[in-house]
Amino acid sequence: MSPGRVRAARRGRDRRARVLLPAAGAPRITGEPPRTAVVGGGIAGLAAATALAERGVRVTLYEREPVLGGRVAGWPTTLRDGTPVTMSRGFHAFFRQYYNLRGLLRRTDPRLERLSGLPDYPLWHASGMRDGFRHVPRTPPWSALGFVARSPSFPPRELTRIRPAAALPLLDVRVPDVYARLDHVSAHDFLEAIRFPEAARHLAFEVFSRSFFADPRELSAAEMVLMFHIYFLGSCEGLLFDVPVEPFPAALWTPLAAHLRRHGAELRTSAPVESVVPAPHGGFTVTLGDGRHHHDAVVLALDTAGLRSLVARSAGLGDPAWRERIGRLRTAPPFLVSRLWLDRPVARDRPGFLGTSGYGTLDNVSVLERWEGEAARWAARTGGSVVELHAYALPEDAAVDVERKRLLEQLHRVYPETRRARVVDERHEWRADCPLFPVGGHRARPPVRTADPHLVLAGDLVRTDLPVALMERAATSGFLAANALLERWGVRGQTLWTVPDRGRSRVLRALARLGGRPLRGTADARRALPGGPDGPHGPGGPDGPGTPGA
Q: Is the pLDDT of residue 8 over 50?
A: no
Report the relative pairing of strands 35-39 and 455-457 from DSSP bridges: unpaired
Question: For position 527, what pLDDT does the model report?
Answer: 38
Cα separation, 497 vs 435, whole angstroms? 23
CB 408 within 8 A of CB 359: no
Which amino acid appears at position 365 of this protein?
V
Look at 39-43, 107-111, 413-417, 502-506 and tell me which has the smallest mean pLDDT. 502-506
Provide the pLDDT confidence category of residue 172 given band limits of 50, 70 and 90: confident
Look at 109-113, 143-147, 343-347 and tell me which has the smallest mean pLDDT. 143-147
With vertex at residue 226, the alpha carbon angle to CA 448 and CA 147, rounded to the nearest 5 degrees, is: 150
Higher-confidence position of 17 and 401 = 401
Question: For position 6, what pLDDT does the model report?
Answer: 44
Mean pLDDT rounded to a whole number for the chain: 87
In the chain, pLDDT over 70 holds for what percent of residues? 88
CB 67 within 8 A of CB 252: no
CB 386 within 8 A of CB 427: no
Question: For position 148, what pLDDT does the model report?
Answer: 73
CB 359 within 8 A of CB 407: no
Question: For position 503, what pLDDT does the model report?
Answer: 75
Q: Is the pLDDT of residue 381 over 90?
A: yes
Q: What is the pLDDT of residues 211-256, one digit of tens each?
A: 778 888 889 999 989 988 888 778 888 888 999 999 999 999 999 9
Q: Which residues contact 514 (CB under 8 A, 6 or more apart)?
A: 168
Mean pLDDT of 331-354: 96
Question: For position 207, what pLDDT does the model report?
Answer: 62
Q: What is the pLDDT of residues 157-170, one digit of tens each?
A: 777 778 877 878 88
Backbone angles phi, psi at 279, to 5 degrees: -85, 150
Cα separation, 216 vs 219, whole angstroms? 5
Q: What is the pLDDT of residues 416-448, one digit of tens each?
A: 999 999 999 999 999 999 999 999 999 999 999
Read off the DSSP letter of residue 528: T
Question: For position 517, what pLDDT does the model report?
Answer: 52
Look at 231-235, 362-366, 390-394 and tell me which has the smallest mean pLDDT. 231-235
Most confident of 65-69, 185-189, 236-240: 65-69
Q: How far is CA 489 from CA 23, 37, 44, 293, 447, in A?
A: 11, 15, 21, 21, 20
Question: For position 532, what pLDDT does the model report?
Answer: 36
Q: What is the pLDDT of residues 469-523, one digit of tens each?
A: 999 999 999 999 999 999 999 999 999 999 988 877 676 777 777 655 544 433 3
Give the SS3 label for residue 77. strand
CB 115 within 8 A of CB 238: no
Mean pLDDT of 175-187: 92
H or E element: which one contains 527? helix 523-527
Cα separation, 403 vs 393, whole angstroms? 12
Read off the DSSP letter of residue 79: -
Per-residue burial over 224-257, b if 16 or more Cβ lie within 10 Å, else e, is bbbbbbbbbbbbbbbbbbbbbbbbbbbbbbbbbb
SS3 of 422-483: CEEEEEEEEECCCECCECCCCCCCCECECCCCCEEECCCCCECCCCCCHHHHHHHHHHHHHH
Question: For position 132, what pLDDT does the model report?
Answer: 79
Q: Which residue, 206, 97, 211, 196, is CA-closest to 148? A: 196
Question: For position 77, what pLDDT does the model report?
Answer: 98
Provide the pLDDT confidence category of residue 4 given band limits of 50, 70 and 90: very low
In the chain, pLDDT over 90 holds for what percent of residues? 68
Give the side-chain half-sphere CA count within 13 A for 508. Answer: 21
Q: Which residue, 91, 49, 151, is CA-closest to 364? A: 91
H or E element: which one contains 88? strand 84-88
Provide the pLDDT confidence category of residue 270 given band limits of 50, 70 and 90: very high
Question: For position 74, what pLDDT does the model report?
Answer: 98
Mean pLDDT of 120-134: 85
Give the SS3 label for residue 412. helix
Q: Is the pLDDT of residue 209 over 70?
A: no
Q: Is the pLDDT of residue 32 over 50?
A: yes
Q: Which residue, 88, 123, 46, is CA-closest to 372? A: 88
